[in-house]
Amino acid sequence: MPAIQSILFPVDFSLHCRGVAPFVKAMSSHFDAQVTLLHGIAIPPEYYVSYGVNVSAALRTELRNSTTASLQAFATQEFGSTAVQKVIEEGDAAEVIAKYAAKEKVDLIMMPTHGFGPLRRFLLGSVTAKVLHDAQCPVWTSVHTDAPFGPPRECRTVLCALDSGESSVPLMQWAAWLACTYQAALKLVHVIPAVNETSMIPGERDVRRYLFGQAREEFENHTKTAGVHLQVRLRGGEITPGIVDTAIEEKADLLIVGRGRVQRALGGLRSHSLDIIREAPCPVISV
């Protein structure tokens, strides 16, 4: 049975990070989960410090002291009286996050995507992208926008985007469990890239009918195995627009996609997960 008992919230003190804090509070309250605030500090090597080891040690102490104060202030401002753990680790931020999550067997990482500005809104922050690639647990990411985050909204509809193959079974089970905890409606979608879902050309219609029929039969078996008694909405065309459009049409409050251990090495959604996160109209949990 899945569980979310521990949430890791990497903190860099940015506005985007502060915007995610209410979502972390809401998630931790829903699951009664322990929240850990984690900040990674990069200590320059001793050979970068012109005055030697003593200055390097003093710099390390000063950085730790100032970071400890900043993290305590962040916890007080964003979480009030809610008890949270505060951890400071040295090293590259993405590596620190992934290693800490693995060592402590964290159930969920929650972090912003750092989308901002007319160009950067198309790019995921490098730390977030690396964590999505390396983390072994599910990762929640915020809507990728330069606009201020609104408050967390009630989770009424969960959309799960499925890849083909048996990897869809554990993903559906995880999504069904999560939706059940919110008493939310669960919707399933699969996009077939080779299909034009609107073409009326006889040959293309025949191809669509054949591929949809194969997919429908496959997912009937997978949903039965997963114990999820729902129909999978089949779409044709490009994967990212198909999933994003479905999320908009279904008014999804949360989108779940597969990645990492749940997906095949070359799974379609694995290779499109960053694009989906970047374009999604709602937060995404990558499992």
The tens digit of pLDDT for each residue in 168-193 reads 999 999 999 999 999 999 999 999 98
Considering the chain, what is the average pLDDT of its residues?
A: 87
CA dist 7 and 101 (Å) reads: 9
* Per-residue pLDDT band at 241 (split at 50, 70, 90): very high
Least confident segment among 111-120, 124-133, 237-246: 111-120
What dotted CATH number matches 157-286?
A: 3.40.50.620
Strand ranges across the sheet with 34-41 = 85-90, 34-41, 6-10, 108-111, 139-141, 284-286, 254-257, 157-161, 185-192, 232-236
The pLDDT, as a whole number, for residue 154 is 94
| Residue scoring higher pLDDT (161 or 119) | 161
The pLDDT, as a whole number, for residue 271 is 67
Is 93:12 a contact under the CB 8 Å cutoff? yes
The tens digit of pLDDT for each residue in 107-117 reads 999 999 875 44
DSSP sequence for 40-91: EE-PPPGGGSTT-HHHHHHHHHHHHHHHHHHHHHHHHHHHTTS--EEEEEES
Least confident segment among 112-116, 156-160, 175-179, 235-239: 112-116
Average pLDDT over residues 208-231: 94
∠ Cα 137 218 253 (to 5°): 45
Average pLDDT over residues 261-281: 68
CA dist 99 and 90 (Å) reads: 12
Query: With 50 as the cut, is the pLDDT of residue 65 above it?
Result: yes
| Residue scoring higher pLDDT (63 or 19) | 19
Is 159:253 a contact under the CB 8 Å cutoff? no
Average pLDDT over residues 227-248: 95
DSSP sequence for 128-174: HHHHHHH-SS-EEE----SSPP-PPPP--EEEEE--SSTTHHHHHHH
The pLDDT, as a whole number, for residue 51 is 53
Residues of the chain with CATH 3.40.50.620: 6-141, 157-286
Is 229:221 a contact under the CB 8 Å cutoff? no
The pLDDT, as a whole number, for residue 117 is 47
Q: What percent of the chain has pLDDT over 90?
A: 64
The pLDDT, as a whole number, for residue 85 is 97
Least confident segment among 35-39, 78-82, 149-153: 149-153
Look up the CATH superfamily of 6-141: HUPs (3.40.50.620)
